[in-house]
Chains A and B, each alone.
Chain A
Amino acid sequence: MSEALLRLVRHGQEQGCRPHQRYLLDRGQWAALAAAIGEDEGVALLGLWADPAQVHAALLAEETIFTASCAVPEGRYAALSPVRPGAVRFERMIRDLWGHVAEGGLDQRPWLDHGRWPLTGPLSARPAPHSMLPPQPVFLPVEGEGIHQIPVGPVHAGVIEPGHFRFHVQGEAVVRLEARLGYVHKGHIGLMLGKPAQVAARLAARLSGDSTVAHGWAFAQAVEAALGLEPPPRALALRALMAELERLHNHLNDWGAICNDAGFAWLHARAGALREAVLRAAATAFGHRLMMDRVVPGGVTDDLMPAGSAAIGAALDAVEAELPRLGAVYGSHASLADRLVGTGVIAPSLVRLFAAGGVVGRASGRGFDVRHRPGYPPYVPSEPGMLEAGDVDARTRLRMTEMEGAIRLARGLIEALPPGELTLPLPQRGGEGLGMVEGFRGDCLHWVALDEAGLVRAVFPRDPSWLLWPLLEAAIEGNILADFPLINKSINASYSGVDL
Chain B
Amino acid sequence: MREGWRRLLWPRLARALVSPPLTDAPPVPPEELVQALVARLEAAAQARLGRSLAIRQVDAGSCNGCELEMSAMQNVVYDLERFGLRFVASPRHADVLLVTGPLTRNMREALLRTAECTPEPRWVVAAGDCAVDGGIFKGSYAVEGGIEAALPVDLLIPGCPPTPAQLLEGMLALLEAQGGR
Given A206-B63, A273-B75, A290-B65, A186:B90 Cβ within 8 A: no
B52: A residues at CB distance < 8 A: none
The reply to whether B104 and A289 contact each other, CB–CB distance below 8 Å, is no
The reply to whether B62 and A184 contact each other, CB–CB distance below 8 Å, is yes
Chain A, 139-196, CB within 8 A of any chain B CB:
154-155, 157-162, 182-187, 190-191
For A127, A184, A272, A276, the residue with the greatest tally of chain B CB atoms inside 10 Å of its CB is: A184
B180: CB under 8 A from chain A? no
The reply to whether A159 and B67 contact each other, CB–CB distance below 8 Å, is yes
B157: CB under 8 A from chain A? no
The reply to whether A184 and B65 contact each other, CB–CB distance below 8 Å, is no
The reply to whether B142 and A117 contact each other, CB–CB distance below 8 Å, is yes
A455: CB under 8 A from chain B? no
Chain B, 66-84, CB within 8 A of any chain A CB:
66-72, 74-78
Given A495-B64, A496-B63, A155:B58 Cβ within 8 A: yes
Which among B7-15, B38-46, B107-115 touches the partner chain? B107-115
B178: CB under 8 A from chain A? no
Say which residue of B64, B67, B110, B143 sits within 8 Å of A187 (CB atoms): B143
What number of A-B contacts does a CB cutoff of 8 Å give? 133
Given A122-B142, A190-B140, A494:B64 Cβ within 8 A: yes
A275: B residues at CB distance < 8 A: 72, 75
The reply to whether A209 and B63 contact each other, CB–CB distance below 8 Å, is yes
What band does the interface of chain A fall in when counting residues whose beta carbon is under 8 Å from B?
35 or more
Nearest CB in chain B to that of A118: its residue: B141
Say which residue of B60, B77, B139 sits within 8 Å of A273 (CB atoms): B77
A114: B residues at CB distance < 8 A: 105-106
Given A186-B140, A208-B63, A276:B87 Cβ within 8 A: no
A212: B residues at CB distance < 8 A: 63, 65
A494: B residues at CB distance < 8 A: 64
A269: CB under 8 A from chain B? yes
Within the complex, the shortest CB–CB distance from B78 to chain A, in Å, comes to 8
User: How distant is the Cα of A183 from the Cα of B64 in the complex, in angstroms?
Assistant: 13
Within the complex, the shortest CB–CB distance from B55 to chain A, in Å, comes to 9
What residues of chain A have their CB less than 8 Å away from a CB belonging to chain B?
Answer: 112, 114, 116-119, 122, 127, 154-155, 157-162, 182-187, 190-191, 202-203, 206-210, 212, 253, 269, 272-273, 275-276, 279, 283, 289-290, 292, 494-496
List the 8 closest A-B pairs by CB distance, nearest first. A209-B65, A187-B140, A272-B75, A157-B89, A187-B142, A209-B63, A209-B64, A206-B63
